[in-house]
Amino acid sequence: MEKLIDSFGREIIYLRISLTDRCNFRCIYCSPAENMFHFIEHEQILRFEEILEIVQAAVEMGISKVRLTGGEPLVRRGVVNLIRQLKKITGLEDISMTTNGYYLSEMARSLHSAGLDRINISLDSLDREKFKSIAGFDGLPQVLDGIDAALREGLTPVKINVVLLKGINDDEVENFIKLTAERPLTVRFIELMPTNHSLKEINESHFISVKKIREKIMDRFLEIKEVLAEKGCGPASYYHLPDAQGMFGFITAVSQHFCTCCNRIRLTAEGNLRPCLFNDSELELKKRLRKVPLNQQELRKSTIRNFLKEAVRAKPSGHRLGAQNNADFSMSQIGG
């Protein structure tokens, strides 16, 4: 099998796929103001058949993990069947999803039955009013029901992603950690990532480093134990309380990046390959692929393979987020 190795010796085995730029939430750190936001035209969104074609070629080149993201992936019709078809691809070992959890309570069983292995749920507050002010939507009860459903259906490990916002939710860190004592959840505290230049004021006002939060937690919970790093060069460092069912971790995307062992590339909803989340460089795979007739399967596969190779070759050694922000995009359009 031909492997995808970048210019710095990193083997790329992980493909993150944004299914849509649409989302039922309008999180203050993710989406710009309503009158500034423009959705991608439907015909420009990558078709499921094209996604399957791309994943098949990618797996043949060493990709073994796929994560489905958005926007919000569960707002796209047919996502369960897409997972069912992905599951049939020999060599694809892991299919995961990142969701805001709003529709999860009604879809968890069908997602798991189709072949989804595990799920990450974005949840920035356990307080209903605060949740509403962050997400722009009164959906906390539904998200909590979605977490229950994910645990019940075995979409494990269930990871909760909490974006830290100074002066907004940084006083809830202990409450999130206590969740891990009672339930088999993995809570991850993530630094606010300044990507969209139109959200500069929010990024500057509400950024808080993980280091400050971690120091407070270590002083508060003296009995915390560190857990071995997750397999596959994951971005988080993990800890747990004595006898806890779950664990919690910190993702320092800005203050202390983890680029040296990054093993992923991204496929945007518009069909572009993005070598690095925090760099605006993209390769227009869909645009080229749609020029190749459907009956020329070998040429289509060769086109995909060449684009994957080029994306991996273009992968930078690391991002400069925090030092020089050279990325300007809405996270909802890329998938995080």
pLDDT digit string, tens, across residues 273-290: 999 987 778 999 999 999
Query: What CATH number does the domain containing 105 carry?
Result: 3.20.20.70
Whole-Å CA distances, 98 to 18, 41, 101, 117, 317: 10, 23, 9, 12, 25
In this prediction, residue 159 carries a pLDDT of: 97
Closest CA to 18 of 70, 67, 56: 70
Residue 234: pLDDT band (50, 70, 90) is low
Domain that holds residue 98: 14-334
Return the bridge partners of 226, or none.
Answer: 239
Average pLDDT of the chain? Answer: 89
Does residue 277 lie in a domain region? yes
The length of the chain is: 336
How many domains are there within the chain? 1
Does residue 1 lie in a domain region? no
Does residue 271 lie in a domain region? yes
In this prediction, residue 81 carries a pLDDT of: 98
In this prediction, residue 150 carries a pLDDT of: 98
The pLDDT tens digits of the residues spanning 167-220 come to 999 999 999 999 999 999 999 999 887 765 555 667 778 888 888 888 888 888
Does residue 2 lie in a domain region? no
Does residue 6 lie in a domain region? no
Does residue 7 lie in a domain region? no
Question: Residue 298: exposed, middle, or buried by beta-carbon count in 10 A (0-12, 13-18, 19+)?
Answer: exposed
Q: Which residues contact 195 (CB under 8 A, 6 or more apart)?
A: 278, 321, 325, 327, 328, 329, 330, 331
Q: Is the pLDDT of residue 321 over 70?
A: no
Does residue 88 lie in a domain region? yes
Q: Which residues contact 43 (CB under 8 A, 6 or more apart)?
A: none
